[in-house]
Chain A
Amino acid sequence: MAASKASRIGEEIWKTRIDKVNAELVTLTYGTIVAQLCKDFEDDYPEVNRQLDKMGYNIGLRLIEDYLAKSNTMKRCSNFRETADMISRVGFKIFLNITPQVTNWTADNNSFSLVFDENPFADFVELPDDGRAQNELWYSNILCGVLRGALEMVQMQVEAHFISDVLKGNDTTEMRVTLIRYIDDELPPEDD
């Protein structure tokens, strides 16, 4: 499916089939979750990243059903490039109303970057100035988990992590997504 068609689908669904909520509600709720995790784990940021990823994973497992129902695409993506376009132009579009750019493909087409021009989660946010958060905390790490969880449910094992974040003073917010393998539908053990 062409990228432009994916954009059209995303736009269409966003306009007609999505219930909207106040953006600040989302931003502040997510912010509270991250801040609370930081407090609970006593500023152990790698652990906070892990927790966010885990929460995202559990969201992704469920969200994919919603995505499939709303996007109404019964057809499977024919390759990973198409998957990437659908993630950006339909998935992110209908849930967050953003379309991160898909770039930096590796030659084997198994790994790409999502570059976020805007990130509704990170509005207003300033990372704690304790000398470690700037290096260690990936504020929007929940998104990595969401992608991992959602793609796993459609037989794709991926690895996702952020490699830069404007909150840390980088120029862009960039997430790296790598396909590890397609999970074959496992057959039940044969009866002898």
Chain B
Amino acid sequence: MSAAIPSVACLGVIGRNNNPLHISIFPSYDPTANAFTPIRNPLQFSLLLSSTIDVFDLRSKTSTASGDFGLLHAIDDRLAAYGFETNTGVRMVCIVDMRGRRVEAGGSGVAGQGSGAAGASTASSTSASAAAARSSVGSVGAGLRDSEIKPVFRAMQSAYVRLLQNPFYDPDEHAPLGGKGGRRITSKKFGDDMKRIGEAWTPGVTTL
């Protein structure tokens, strides 16, 4: 008997001009095919991220001091979008699939992530936190506490800070002042960081 626990389905970074800076999509476990496939296609994820911008705008009027927006909207019974905004107007969105990862009810076995390389390195931390995950999310769809998402945003923010420290990254190019649009982030290091965060997170993980 296996149970499903939440995993990250998509990580998005949105620039201050409402322009997409980065989108990472992660495969979810599909019990019918017993395989890992993304739950939506890239265009749909892009649409979901765009739709969060309105929520950010709406909420920013009564904005929280910490920048943490918590649950932005629950998309359906599986997907939910959580958000975080920095003071410079960069928004980070984490779309969680509430049944994206499989754990054996016995407790020992955790189905590895879809992509092999990172799966091996994160396997130990994943299985350690799987027990915590099951206890914190009693039943599917019970929702996540904001504090469980926080490590994701903290890790995303520090990855973004590291990106900005790179002298060859020009923030102006990616979100021109007062203008429109901007180029996407092409940094490999940043992409790898996002991949690592998305694959390692599961409820109960405190450091990424």
Contacts and interface: CB of A to CB of B under 8 A. Distances in A.
B177 to A, nearest CB: 18
A31 B167 contact: yes
Interface in B180-203: 186-189
Interface string B161-189: 01001111110000000000000001111
Contact of B165 (A34, A123, A127): A123
A34 B167 contact: yes
Contacts of B186: 129
B202 to A, nearest CB: 29
A26 B165 CA distance: 12
Nearest to A133: B168
Contacts of B187: 126, 129
Nearest to A127: B168
B168 A28 contact: no
Contact of B168 (A24, A27, A30, A128): A128
Contacts of A109: none
A169 to B, nearest CB: 11
A186 to B, nearest CB: 42
Contact of A124 (B165, B170, B188): B165
A125 interface: yes
Interface residues of A, number: 16
A34 B168 CA distance: 9
A124 B186 CA distance: 15
From DSSP, what is the main secondary structure of chain B's interface residues?
A: loop
Contacts of A27: 165
Contacts of B167: 28, 30-32, 34-35, 124-125
Nearest to A35: B167
B171 to A, nearest CB: 12
A28 B168 CA distance: 11
Interface in B124-175: 162, 165-170
A123 B195 CA distance: 21
A30 B168 CA distance: 12
A125 B166 contact: yes
Nearest to B190: A126
Contacts of A38: 168
Nearest to B167: A31
B16 to A, nearest CB: 21
Contacts of B169: 126
Contacts of A126: 166, 168-169, 187-189
A30 B186 CA distance: 22
B165 A35 contact: no
A128 B167 CA distance: 10
A38 B170 CA distance: 13
10 contacts: A27-B165, A28-B165, A31-B168, A123-B165, A124-B165, A125-B168, A126-B169, A126-B187, A129-B186, A129-B187
**A-B residue pairs, 9 tightest by C-beta:** A31-B167, A124-B165, A35-B167, A128-B168, A126-B166, A124-B166, A126-B189, A35-B168, A126-B187
Given A27-B165, A129-B188, 13 more contacts: A28-B165, A31-B165, A31-B166, A31-B167, A31-B168, A35-B167, A35-B168, A38-B168, A124-B166, A125-B167, A125-B168, A126-B187, A129-B187
